[in-house]
Structure 1
Amino acid sequence: MKKYISGALTALLMTTAVQAEKLEYFLENGVTYDQSVLKPDGFLGHGIGELPTRHDVFVDYIRRVAEASPRMTIETIGYSHERRPIVTLIITSPENHKRLEEIRANHLLRSNPETAKQAKDDMPVVTWLNYGVHGAEASGMEAALPSVYHLAAAQDEKTKKSLEDSVIVLTAVFNPDGHSRRAGWVLQYSSKKVNTNGAHEIHNHAWPGGRTNHYLFDLNRQWLLQTQPESVAWLKQWHKWKPQVSSDFHEMGRQSTYYFHPGVPTRKFPLVPDEAREIAYEIAGYHAQKLDGHKELYFTEEGFDNFYVGKGSTYPQVNGGIGFLFEAGAQMGLAVESRQGVKTYARNIRTQFRTTLSTIHTAAMMKDKLHDYQENFYLNADQEAAKDPIKGYVFKAPKDPARMDMFLTLLKRHKIMAYSVQKNVKAEGKIYEAGHSYIVPLRQSQYRMIKSMFGKFTNFPDNVFYDVSGWTMPLAYGLEFAEVKSSLRSVIGEHAEKASQNAAVPEVAPYAYVFRWSDYYAPRALNRILEKGIMARVAKNPIRVKTTKGVVSFDRGAIIVSMDRQTVSDADIHAAMVEVAAEDNLTVHSATSGRTLDAGTDLGGRDTVSDLSLPKPLLIVGSGVSVYDAGEVWHQLDHRMKMNVTLVRRDNLRRVDWHDFTHVILVGGRGTSSPFTKPQEAALKDWIRQGGTVIAQRGHAQWAAKELLGLKHKKSTEKKENRRLAYSVKGQEDAKHVVGGAIFKSAIDTSHPLGFGHGNGEVNSHRNTAYTLPVPTDAYAKVAVYAKAPLQSGYTSEKRLKEIAGTPMIVAQRMGGGSVILFADNPNFRATFIGTNKLFMNALFFSKAFAAEGRRGEEGHSH
Structure 2
Amino acid sequence: MSRLLRLILFSVLLTALAVAPARAQSASDLQSPADFLGYEMGSQFTPHHRVMDYVQHVAAASPNVEAEPYGESYEGRTLMVAYISTPDLLDERETVRQNNLRRIGLADGAPTADDAPAIVYLSYNVHGNESVSTESALQTLYELADPTNSQTQPWLDNTLVLLDPLVNPDGRARYVNFYRESVGAQPNARRMAREHQEPWPGGRANHYYFDLNRDWAWASQQETQHRLELYNRWMPHVHVDYHEQGIDSPHYFAPAADPFHEDIAAWQREIQTEMGRNHARYFDENGWRYFTRERFDLFYPGYGDTWPTFNGAIGMTYEQGGSGRAGLMVHTAEGDTLSLHDRFVRHHATGLSTVETAAREADRLVSEFVSYHETAASNPPGDYAAYLVKARDAADHGVPNTPDDRIHALHEHLEGQGIASTIAGDGTDMQRSGLRYADQTEQSAAIEPGDLVVSLNQPKGRLAKVLMEPQTTVVDSVTYDMTGWSLPYAYGLEAYALEQSVSVSGDTEAAPPTLQGADTDTPYAYLANWHSIADASFLSDLIEAGVKVRFAREAFELNGRTFEPGTLAILRANNRNMGSDFDRIVQETATEHERSLYRTATGFMDEEPDLGSGNIRYIDAPHVGVLAGSPLSSLNVGEVWHFFEQQLGYPATLLEPGNFRDEWLSDLDVLVMPSGSYGDWLTDERTEALQGWIQNGGHLIALGAANSALSGRDGFDLAAPPADADSAAASPELTRYEDRAREAATRGTPGSVHATTLDGSHPLAFGIERYFTLKRSARAFAYLDSGWTVAALEDTAPLTGFMGHEAQQELDDTLVFGVQSYGQGRITYLVDNPLTRGFWHNGQLLMSNAVFFVGNE
TM-score in same-fold range (> 0.5):
yes
Offset, 1:668: 1.3
Offset, 1:459: 4.6
Equivalent position of 1:536 in the other structure: 549
* Partner Cα distance (1:551, 1:569) in 2: 31
| CA contact 2:751–2:776 (8 Å) conserved in 1 | yes
What secondary structure sits across from 1:267 in the alignment?
A: strand
Among 324, 330, 335, which residue is 2:329 paired with?
A: 335
Among 411, 416, 420, which residue is 1:413 paired with?
A: 416
| CA contact 1:401–1:500 (8 Å) conserved in 2 | no
Q: How does 1:160-179 map to 2 (within 5 A)?
A: 160-179=153-172
Comparing 623-632 and 396-405, the one that deviates more: 396-405
What secondary structure sits across from 1:738 in the alignment?
A: coil
Among 640, 645, 649, which residue is 1:633 paired with?
A: 640
Among 329, 351, 355, which residue is 2:350 paired with?
A: 355
2:190 is the counterpart of 1:197 = yes
| CA contact 2:27–2:146 (8 Å) conserved in 1 | yes
Letter of the structure 1 residue corresponding to residue 276 of structure 2? A
Q: How does 1:421-570 map to 2 (within 5 A)?
A: 421=424, 422-427=428-433, 428=436, 429=443, 431-432=445-446, 434-489=448-503, 492-494=504-506, 496-504=507-515, 508-545=521-558, 552-566=561-575, 568-570=577-579
* Partner Cα distance (1:334, 1:388) in 2: 49
| CA contact 2:835–2:843 (8 Å) conserved in 1 | yes
What secondary structure sits across from 2:217 in the alignment?
A: helix
Structure 1 pair 388/467, CA: closer, same or farther in 2 (3 Å)?
A: closer
* Partner Cα distance (1:311, 1:223) in 2: 6
* Partner Cα distance (1:474, 1:73) in 2: 41
2:572 is the counterpart of 1:582 = no
| CA contact 2:533–2:848 (8 Å) conserved in 1 | no
Equivalent position of 1:369 in the other structure: 364
2:227 is the counterpart of 1:234 = yes
Equivalent position of 1:390 in the other structure: 384
Offset, 1:78: 0.8
Letter of the structure 2 residue corresponding to residue 270 of structure 1? E
What secondary structure sits across from 1:351 in the alignment?
A: helix
What secondary structure sits across from 2:405 in the alignment?
A: helix
* Partner Cα distance (1:213, 1:195) in 2: 27
* Partner Cα distance (1:316, 1:116) in 2: 24
Structure 1 pair 373/709, CA: closer, same or farther in 2 (3 Å)?
A: same
Letter of the structure 2 residue corresponding to residue 828 of structure 1? L
Letter of the structure 2 residue corresponding to residue 751 of structure 1? S
Structure 1 pair 81/617, CA: closer, same or farther in 2 (3 Å)?
A: same
Q: How does 1:292-303 map to 2 (within 5 A)?
A: 292-303=284-295
Q: 1:718-759 CA deviation, whole Å, 9 max, x = no partner?
A: 23533322211122222232101111211211111111001x
Q: 1:281-329 CA deviation, whole Å, 9 max, x = no partner?
A: 1210000001111111111111111111111111121111111111111
Q: 1:502-529 CA deviation, whole Å, 9 max, x = no partner?
A: 4459963331222111143222222223
* Partner Cα distance (2:775, 2:382) in 1: 30
* Partner Cα distance (2:628, 2:107) in 1: 52
| CA contact 2:796–2:811 (8 Å) conserved in 1 | no
Comparing 532-541 and 672-681, the one that deviates more: 672-681
Equivalent position of 2:236 in the other structure: 243
* Partner Cα distance (1:119, 1:798) in 2: 56
Specify every segment of 5 or more residues in structure 1 that has no aligned partner in the other structure, as ranges: 1-32, 851-863
Offset, 1:115: 9.5
Q: How does 1:9-158 map to 2 (within 5 A)?
A: 36-112=29-105, 122-153=115-146, 155-158=148-151
Comparing 111-120 and 195-204, the one that deviates more: 111-120
Letter of the structure 1 residue corresponding to residue 776 of structure 2? N
* Partner Cα distance (1:782, 1:725) in 2: 38
Count how many residue pairs are aligned between Structure 1 and Structure 2. Answer: 803
Offset, 1:382: 3.8
Offset, 1:38: 2.2
* Partner Cα distance (2:741, 2:147) in 1: 45
Comparing 714-723 and 476-485, the one that deviates more: 714-723
Offset, 1:448: 0.7
What secondary structure sits across from 2:585 in the alignment?
A: helix
2:669 is the counterpart of 1:653 = no
2:270 is the counterpart of 1:278 = yes
| CA contact 1:113–1:378 (8 Å) conserved in 2 | no
Letter of the structure 2 residue corresponding to residue 664 of structure 1? L
What secondary structure sits across from 2:342 in the alignment?
A: helix
* Partner Cα distance (1:285, 1:565) in 2: 72
Offset, 1:362: 0.8
Structure 1 pair 257/677, CA: closer, same or farther in 2 (3 Å)?
A: same
Equivalent position of 1:732 in the other structure: 742
Letter of the structure 2 residue corresponding to residue 682 of structure 1? E
| CA contact 2:514–2:595 (8 Å) conserved in 1 | yes
Equivalent position of 1:225 in the other structure: 218
Q: How does 1:827-846 map to 2 (within 5 A)?
A: 827-846=834-853
What secondary structure sits across from 1:324 in the alignment?
A: strand
| CA contact 2:138–2:165 (8 Å) conserved in 1 | no
What is the TM-score when the length of structure 1 is the normalising length? 0.89
Q: 1:165-191 CA deviation, whole Å, 9 max, x = no partner?
A: 100011231111111101110111121
Structure 1 pair 173/192, CA: closer, same or farther in 2 (3 Å)?
A: same
Letter of the structure 2 residue corresponding to residue 827 of structure 1? P
Letter of the structure 2 residue corresponding to residue 742 of structure 1? S
Among 607, 613, 619, which residue is 1:605 paired with?
A: 613
* Partner Cα distance (1:447, 1:45) in 2: 49
Letter of the structure 1 residue corresponding to residue 148 of structure 2? Q
2:781 is the counterpart of 1:773 = yes
Letter of the structure 2 residue corresponding to residue 688 of structure 1? I
RMSD between superposed Cα atoms in Å: 2.3
Equivalent position of 1:402 in the other structure: 405
Comparing 375-384 and 359-368, the one that deviates more: 375-384
* Partner Cα distance (2:282, 2:108) in 1: 37
* Partner Cα distance (2:275, 2:367) in 1: 15
Offset, 1:380: 3.3
Q: 1:418-439 CA deviation, whole Å, 9 max, x = no partner?
A: 1232224454446545222120
* Partner Cα distance (2:577, 2:339) in 1: 63
* Partner Cα distance (1:378, 1:140) in 2: 31
* Partner Cα distance (2:365, 2:410) in 1: 32
2:712 is the counterpart of 1:699 = no
| CA contact 1:563–1:570 (8 Å) conserved in 2 | no
What is the TM-score when the length of structure 2 is the normalising length? 0.90
Among 308, 322, 340, which residue is 1:345 paired with?
A: 340
| CA contact 2:407–2:451 (8 Å) conserved in 1 | no
| CA contact 2:252–2:290 (8 Å) conserved in 1 | yes
Q: 1:129-151 CA deviation, whole Å, 9 max, x = no partner?
A: 00111101011122111111111
Structure 1 pair 383/593, CA: closer, same or farther in 2 (3 Å)?
A: closer
Equivalent position of 1:3 in the other structure: none
Offset, 1:484: 1.9
* Partner Cα distance (1:469, 1:520) in 2: 26
* Partner Cα distance (2:509, 2:808) in 1: 38
What is the percentage of aligned positions where both structures have the same residue? 27
Offset, 1:654: 2.5
* Partner Cα distance (2:136, 2:106) in 1: 37
| CA contact 1:404–1:499 (8 Å) conserved in 2 | no
Letter of the structure 2 residue corresponding to residue 724 of structure 1? L
Specify every segment of 5 or more residues in structure 2 that has no aligned partner in the other structure, as ranges: 1-25, 395-402, 437-442
Equivalent position of 2:16 in the other structure: none
What secondary structure sits across from 2:216 in the alignment?
A: helix
Equivalent position of 2:283 in the other structure: 291
What secondary structure sits across from 1:757 in the alignment?
A: coil
Offset, 1:267: 1.1
